[in-house]
């Protein structure tokens, strides 16, 4: 009997790593821990009644169509809805450019599959969304991290990305930093990217979750031919639906479609019909403001708690939308080492190092405020501050 495994992993499999966030979440899902680590939207915002009614209508009116295989592009009516909604945000979009995807996470994978060769360069912000690094990594790119400030990528740093297959950007309430690019920065970044002939992949799952004023128009509105735009229903309806979309310049659409066909034939047609049934008559216009109001109150609670309890030497910017605070700790504090102390005190966070493609900054952390009550936020930040003071 031999114990040698008959399986040989592909090169790309060696580029796949467990998400450090999921590993942390396992530890922190113990009872009694206040978790500021999650990236999940608040389940209080899921439109359960609207979903129940829409599901019943779909099963009553189009049961066999809804349960049959469907087109890889997505439900035509939903593609039309997405195109019209984005035109309302200033984008020039035809429904033929819209592909419905299985979450925007699938959009990231398809972009990697179609655009990245082994050894080619992919440019990202610093920090950036860990799930995008995970989606692109198996296609074996070399990552380049573009220097950023509190307003996003520095236009003068974009030349470091020259020659990359694309620059991946989150202009609205970025995961993890919470930052939102100003209109001036968007204009400057797009102008520089155009000059460098550097295409953009714009990921926008959080743009509707603004607290005071809507964010400026998307990058795709400034450079439609040079931007692939990703959107999602996860944060405005529910992530369990796994519904997102990719809007691509026309020449890319067939390849993205072929990549999608190979991946999953199509995104569940049943879910697409139910969601279209929910949103077709303007439901989101009244629903999303309720999410904004809830998240804004939680943001305010976290801001107040940080101001009241965090020791000197910590820095954060107050997010104007989305789900996250990003905290910079004193330079000598390693957030990974701090985490067990914080968990012992009853609070969890995500160390920021996971979100860097290059030159991880160990003294950073991401705090989510949306799945915890204002009272838990106050207690959690007090416990975090105590752990920090103990570590000092
Ligand atoms: N992009 C970003 C920046 C995200 O934060 C997430 C979800 N955490 C996704 C994409 C994927 O979202 P979904 O697949 O649910 O649309």
The CATH number of the domain holding residue 77 is 3.40.640.10
Verify that 39 and 72 share a domain, yes or no: no
> For position 159, what pLDDT does the model report?
97
Cis peptide before 176 (omega within 30 of 0): yes
Nearest-angstrom CA–CA distance, 26 and 339: 13
Closest by CA to 97, choosing from 221, 211, 228, is 228
Domain housing 345: 12-46+285-391
Which residue has the CA at smallest separation from atom 9 of ligand 1?
105
Verify that 372 and 295 share a domain, yes or no: yes
Verify that 170 and 245 share a domain, yes or no: yes
Verify that 211 and 245 share a domain, yes or no: yes
> For position 1, what pLDDT does the model report?
58
> For position 24, what pLDDT does the model report?
73
- Please tell me the distance between residue 22's alpha carbon and the centre of ligand 1 in angstroms: 14
Radius of gyration of the chain (CA): 21
- Please tell me the distance between residue 295's alpha carbon and the centre of ligand 1 in angstroms: 17
Verify that 59 and 41 share a domain, yes or no: no
Cβ(308)–Cβ(386) below 8 Å: no
Q: Is the CB of 170 under 6 A from ligand 1?
A: yes
> For position 285, what pLDDT does the model report?
97
> For position 39, what pLDDT does the model report?
87
> For position 2, what pLDDT does the model report?
64
Ligand 1 nearest-atom number relative to CA 170: 3
Mean residue pLDDT across the chain: 95
> For position 19, what pLDDT does the model report?
72
Which residue has the CA at smallest separation from atom 5 of ligand 1?
175
* Residue ending a domain, choose from 233, 268, 283: 283
Q: Is the CB of 204 under 6 A from ligand 1?
A: no
Q: Is the CB of 127 under 6 A from ligand 1?
A: no
Verify that 265 and 349 share a domain, yes or no: no
- The residue ranges of the chain whose pLDDT is under 50 are none
Q: Is the CB of 202 under 6 A from ligand 1?
A: no
> For position 106, what pLDDT does the model report?
98
Q: Is the CB of 133 under 6 A from ligand 1?
A: no
Residue 7 is assigned to a structural domain of this protein: no
Residue 2 is assigned to a structural domain of this protein: no
């Amino acid at each position: 009997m031999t114990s040698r495994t008959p399986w040989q992993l592909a090169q790309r499999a060696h580029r796949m790593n467990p998400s450090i966030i999921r590993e942390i979440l396992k530890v922190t899902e113990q009872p009694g821990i206040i978790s500021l680590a999650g990236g999940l939207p608040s389940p209080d915002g899921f439109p359960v009644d609207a979903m129940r009614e829409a599901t019943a209508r779909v099963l009553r009116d189009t049961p066999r169509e809804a349960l049959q295989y469907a087109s890889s592009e997505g439900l035509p009516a939903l593609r039309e809805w997405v195109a019209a909604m984005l035109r309302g945000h200033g984008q020039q979009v035809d429904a033929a450019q819209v592909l419905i995807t299985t979450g925007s996470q699938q959009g990231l994978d398809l972009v990697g599959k179609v655009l990245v060769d082994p050894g080619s360069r992919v440019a990202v912000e610093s920090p950036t969304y860990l799930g995008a690094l995970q989606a692109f990594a198996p296609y074996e790119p070399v990552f380049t991290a573009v220097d950023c400030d509190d307003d996003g990528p520095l236009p003068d740093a974009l030349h470091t990305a020259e020659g990359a297959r694309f620059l991946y950007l989150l202009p609205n309430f970025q995961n993890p930093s919470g930052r939102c690019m100003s209109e001036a920065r968007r204009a400057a970044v797009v102008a520089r990217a155009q000059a460098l002939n550097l295409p953009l992949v714009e990921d926008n799952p959080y743009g509707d979750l603004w607290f005071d004023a809507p964010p400026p128009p998307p990058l795709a509105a400034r450079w439609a031919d040079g931007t692939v735009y990703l959107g999602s229903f996860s944060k405005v309806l529910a992530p369990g639906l796994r519904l997102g979309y990719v809007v691509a310049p026309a020449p890319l659409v067939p390849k993205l479609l072929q990549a999608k066909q190979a991946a999953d034939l199509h995104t569940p047609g049943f879910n697409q019909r139910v969601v279209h049934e929910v949103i077709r008559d303007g439901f989101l216009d009244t629903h999303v403001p309720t999410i904004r109001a809830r998240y804004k109150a939680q943001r305010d609670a976290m801001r107040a708690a940080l101001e009241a309890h965090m020791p000197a030497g910590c820095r954060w910017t107050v997010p104007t939308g989305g789900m996250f605070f990003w905290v910079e700790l004193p330079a000598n504090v390693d957030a990974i080492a701090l985490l067990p102390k914080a968990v012992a005190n009853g609070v969890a966070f995500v160390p920021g190092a996971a979100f860097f493609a290059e030159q991880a900054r160990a003294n950073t952390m991401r705090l989510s405020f949306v799945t915890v009550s204002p009272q838990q936020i106050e207690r959690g930040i007090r416990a975090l501050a105590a752990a920090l003071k103990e570590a000092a």
